[in-house]
Amino acid sequence: MEKAATDWWAEITTISPRCVYYFGPFETINEAKAAYSGYVKDLDGEGAKGIIVVIQRCQPKELTICEDEGI
């Protein structure tokens, strides 16, 4: 039996590269909010564009999901 999605995660999506990253788990929404800016700074430093952050309760099966560029 799977446990309920009670942990908080920072879901960070980037337009370029087209990826979704999950950072966590955090016990509270405030912990997630306090932590995500560091992840955004790292992604920005790596040249990621179009960064969108969503704090939510979930259980991601994969922590990094990127589309193949195929070019």
**Residue 57 DSSP class:** E
Q: What is the mean pLDDT of residues 40-64?
A: 97
Q: In this predicted structure, what is the pLDDT of residue 5?
A: 72
Express each pLDDT in 4-42 by its tens digit: 678 999 999 999 999 999 999 999 999 999 999 999 999
For the chain, domain boundaries: 8-66
Q: What pTM was estimated for this model as a whole? A: 0.86
User: Which pair of structure tokens corresponds to residue 7?
Assistant: 């942990």
User: Which pair of structure tokens corresponds to residue 27?
Assistant: 């016990």
Q: In this predicted structure, what is the pLDDT of residue 2?
A: 54
Task: Quote the distance between the C-alpha of residue 17 and its chain's center.
Answer: 14
Strand-pairing partners, residue 8, are 26, 57
